[in-house]
Protein backbone atom coordinates (compact mmCIF):
# COMPACT_ATOMS: atom_id res chain seq x y z
CA UNK A 1 0.00 0.00 0.00
CA UNK A 2 1.07 3.57 -0.64
CA UNK A 3 -0.23 6.99 0.29
CA UNK A 4 0.25 10.67 -0.36
CA UNK A 5 1.14 13.25 2.27
CA UNK A 6 0.56 16.87 1.26
CA UNK A 7 2.26 19.70 3.12
CA UNK A 8 1.48 23.19 2.00
CA UNK A 9 2.94 26.39 3.40
CA UNK A 10 4.23 29.78 2.43
CA UNK A 11 7.90 30.15 3.27
CA UNK A 12 8.63 32.37 6.24
CA UNK A 13 10.79 35.40 5.46
CA UNK A 14 13.62 34.10 7.66
CA UNK A 15 16.02 31.59 6.15
CA UNK A 16 16.57 30.00 9.58
CA UNK A 17 12.93 28.89 9.89
CA UNK A 18 12.37 25.13 10.13
CA UNK A 19 10.09 25.17 7.08
CA UNK A 20 12.77 26.67 4.84
CA UNK A 21 15.31 24.13 6.09
CA UNK A 22 12.76 21.32 5.60
CA UNK A 23 12.21 22.17 1.92
CA UNK A 24 15.95 22.18 1.22
CA UNK A 25 16.56 18.84 2.94
CA UNK A 26 16.79 16.08 0.31
CA UNK A 27 14.38 13.19 0.77
CA UNK A 28 13.69 10.28 -1.57
CA UNK A 29 10.29 10.50 -3.24
CA UNK A 30 9.67 14.11 -2.23
CA UNK A 31 8.37 16.58 -4.79
CA UNK A 32 8.69 20.26 -3.93
CA UNK A 33 6.58 22.57 -6.08
CA UNK A 34 6.90 26.35 -5.97
CA UNK A 35 4.37 28.54 -7.72
CA UNK A 36 3.33 32.17 -7.57
CA UNK A 37 0.39 34.26 -8.65
CA UNK A 38 2.29 34.95 -11.88
CA UNK A 39 1.64 31.36 -13.01
CA UNK A 40 -2.09 31.58 -12.18
CA UNK A 41 -4.66 32.77 -14.74
CA UNK A 42 -5.31 36.47 -14.12
CA UNK A 43 -9.07 35.89 -14.33
CA UNK A 44 -8.89 33.65 -11.27
CA UNK A 45 -7.25 36.38 -9.19
CA UNK A 46 -9.24 39.44 -10.15
CA UNK A 47 -8.27 43.10 -10.51
CA UNK A 48 -8.17 43.86 -6.77
CA UNK A 49 -5.62 41.13 -6.03
CA UNK A 50 -3.46 42.18 -8.99
CA UNK A 51 -3.66 45.87 -8.00
CA UNK A 52 -2.64 45.02 -4.42
CA UNK A 53 0.33 42.99 -5.69
CA UNK A 54 1.45 45.80 -8.00
CA UNK A 55 1.08 48.39 -5.25
CA UNK A 56 3.27 46.40 -2.85
CA UNK A 57 5.80 45.79 -5.63
CA UNK A 58 6.11 49.56 -6.07
CA UNK A 59 6.11 50.52 -2.38
CA UNK A 60 7.97 47.67 -0.63
CA UNK A 61 9.83 45.40 -3.01
CA UNK A 62 11.16 43.12 -0.28
CA UNK A 63 7.68 42.50 1.15
CA UNK A 64 6.37 41.92 -2.39
CA UNK A 65 9.06 39.31 -3.08
CA UNK A 66 8.17 37.50 0.12
CA UNK A 67 4.37 37.78 0.08
CA UNK A 68 3.68 37.40 -3.64
CA UNK A 69 6.70 35.50 -4.98
CA UNK A 70 7.32 33.28 -1.96
CA UNK A 71 10.98 34.23 -1.63
CA UNK A 72 12.96 33.88 1.56
CA UNK A 73 14.10 37.48 1.97
CA UNK A 74 15.65 37.62 5.43
CA UNK A 75 18.28 35.92 7.50
CA UNK A 76 16.36 36.15 10.76
CA UNK A 77 19.11 38.15 12.39
CA UNK A 78 18.23 41.74 11.45
CA UNK A 79 16.34 43.67 14.11
CA UNK A 80 15.91 46.79 11.97
CA UNK A 81 15.62 46.51 8.20
CA UNK A 82 15.68 50.24 7.42
CA UNK A 83 19.02 51.40 8.84
CA UNK A 84 21.34 53.63 6.88
CA UNK A 85 24.87 53.83 8.27
CA UNK A 86 26.80 56.99 7.45
CA UNK A 87 29.27 59.34 9.12
CA UNK A 88 27.80 62.17 11.20
CA UNK A 89 29.46 65.53 10.60
CA UNK A 90 30.49 67.93 13.35
CA UNK A 91 27.82 70.32 12.04
CA UNK A 92 25.10 67.71 12.49
CA UNK A 93 26.33 66.93 16.00
CA UNK A 94 26.33 70.64 16.87
CA UNK A 95 22.69 70.84 15.77
CA UNK A 96 21.55 68.07 18.16
CA UNK A 97 19.41 69.22 21.08
CA UNK A 98 20.99 66.62 23.37
CA UNK A 99 24.15 64.54 23.19
- Domain assignments of the chain as residue spans, ordered by start: 41-76
- pLDDT at position 77 is 67
**From residue 19, how far is each of 13, 23, 27 by CA, in Å?**
10, 6, 14
pLDDT digits over 29-87, tens only?
888 888 899 999 999 999 999 999 999 999 999 889 989 998 888 866 667 777 788 99
- pLDDT at position 49 is 96
The pTM (predicted TM-score) of the whole model is 0.65
- pLDDT at position 56 is 97
Amino acid sequence: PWSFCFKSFNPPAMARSWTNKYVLEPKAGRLVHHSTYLTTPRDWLGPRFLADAEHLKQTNETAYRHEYLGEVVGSGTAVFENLRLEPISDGQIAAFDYR
